[in-house]
Amino acid sequence: MNYETIIPISQHIPANRQGAKRHYGIHPYFTRRPFNVVRDYILQYSNQGDTIIDPFGGSGVTAIEAFLENRIGIQNDINPLANFIASGIVELTKITVDDIQENLSIIEHNCKKILIELYANNHKEIDYNEYSVALPENIQLPSNSDVDRYYKLFTPRQLISLAILKDHIDKIENPSIKHVFLLAWSSTLARINKTFISTKGRAETRGGSSIFSIYRYNIAKEVVE
């Protein structure tokens, strides 16, 4: 191709960061690009049926916008979390709302009572061995973290509750449905932990985890459970 024939985008494209819940409402991620800016570049420099590849794809904005504009999107990233989020969004095209509602009802039936009882107990001393669920390895955290071990990123109730939910999600047999529920669980995990910092002047549940904003495990001064 003669690059002199490529017409650049000369006008400013205002970033519409909240306009597509498929990117900005599903799961937090680092340095996510505005979907509408990416889409305009795809429309400017490709035709329907073309292949669009993003080797540093992050959570999949480029590949998904390519798909939505009748292109072939190829996603890759060195971070497994990025590919997990992008593929989870793709899996939504393989299931129905009825699939989600049916499996959500099963999880609610199996988990709701024990989670309510867990949060009704205001004492903080919880014996993890009382609950027959698998917990992740209590790994050492990076030296710039506010705490030294993984479990300390959560209150005991948070950690056990998340483990209970994941245990029942893992029992879902359909791989597409399971992936979507794991995506929802992972998004919940990003909010239910001691690094979640509330936005000043808004409801305490509005905010985000410090790992996605200042790139380290910073414990909130006031933990939101």
Kindly state whether residue 219 falls inside one of the protein's structural domains: no
Q: Give the range of the structural domain holding residue 47, as residue numbers without chain letter.
A: 3-93
Q: Using CA atoms, how far apart are residues 182 and 171, in angstroms rounded to an integer? A: 11
Q: Is the pLDDT of residue 203 over 90?
A: no
Q: Output the pLDDT for position 183.
A: 95
Identify the band that residue 23 occupies on the pLDDT scale cut at 50, 70 and 90.
low
The mean per-residue pLDDT over the stretch 14-20 comes to: 78
Are 123 and 58 part of one and the same domain?
no
Q: Output the pLDDT for position 100.
A: 96
Query: Which tokens hold the place of 1?
Result: 């191709």
Are 36 and 111 part of one and the same domain?
no
Identify the band that residue 65 occupies on the pLDDT scale cut at 50, 70 and 90.
very high
Q: Using CA atoms, how far apart are residues 168 and 112, in angstroms rounded to an integer? A: 12
The mean per-residue pLDDT over the stretch 200-219 comes to: 86
Kindly state whether residue 223 falls inside one of the protein's structural domains: no
Are 84 and 133 part of one and the same domain?
no
Kindly state whether residue 170 falls inside one of the protein's structural domains: yes
Are 78 and 125 part of one and the same domain?
no
Domain count, the chain: 2
pTM of the predicted model, to two decimals? 0.86
Are 74 and 21 part of one and the same domain?
yes
Strands 51-54 and 72-75: parallel
Q: What is the CATH number of the domain that holds 72?
A: 3.40.50.150
Identify the band that residue 1 occupies on the pLDDT scale cut at 50, 70 and 90.
low
- Looking at 48, 73, 93, which one is the last position of a domain? 93
Are 191 and 121 part of one and the same domain?
yes
Q: Is the pLDDT of residue 10 over 90?
A: no
Each residue of 113-127: pLDDT tens digit? 999 988 887 766 777
Are 80 and 127 part of one and the same domain?
no
Closest CA to 208 of 149, 119, 193, 61: 193
